Amino acid sequence: MRIFLSLLVLAGPVAAQDWPRDVTTIVDEAKSICAGEFTADPGAVTQRDLNGDGTSDWVIDSGFFRCSDSHGTYCGTRGCGVDTLIDGTRAGLNLHSWDTVTEGGVTYLTAPNDKGETVRFLWTGSEWLLQ
């Protein structure tokens, strides 16, 4: 039971004081385009193993960012900006939501497409490749 709870904590939101510099840079970039009050709701920054190497990577989901003077600053009809940091490499996608799945020892980032079907992205080491 303790192992399961520990995994839930690792996969959940991470407090701002625990963010590495690269994550803080991404959040600061988002904050800089907000002329009003900026907030990052819980879930904006999470850790998840995205490439199947057993190490937690970083996910910054702008769908959890709020700007008091504009409701459409971070998301649009194509989704919200989702940045990932994997082994120091930053990559981004526009997604409505996301999750991960591991099949046959391979980990994929999953998301619904415009038709509501689940699509998978594979990390190549430098970018996300639609499968």
Phi-psi region of 45 (alpha: psi -120 to 50; beta: other; left: phi over 0): beta
Domain spans in the chain, listed from the N-terminal domain onward? 2-130
What tokens were used for 63? 């769908």
Q: Is the pLDDT of residue 68 over 60?
A: yes
Cβ within 8 Å of residue 66, ≥6 positions away: 38, 39, 40, 41
Weakest-pLDDT range from 30-39, 64-73, 87-96: 64-73
* pLDDT tens string 90-122: 999 999 999 999 999 999 999 999 898 999 999
- pLDDT at position 18: 84
- pLDDT at position 62: 97
- pLDDT at position 107: 97
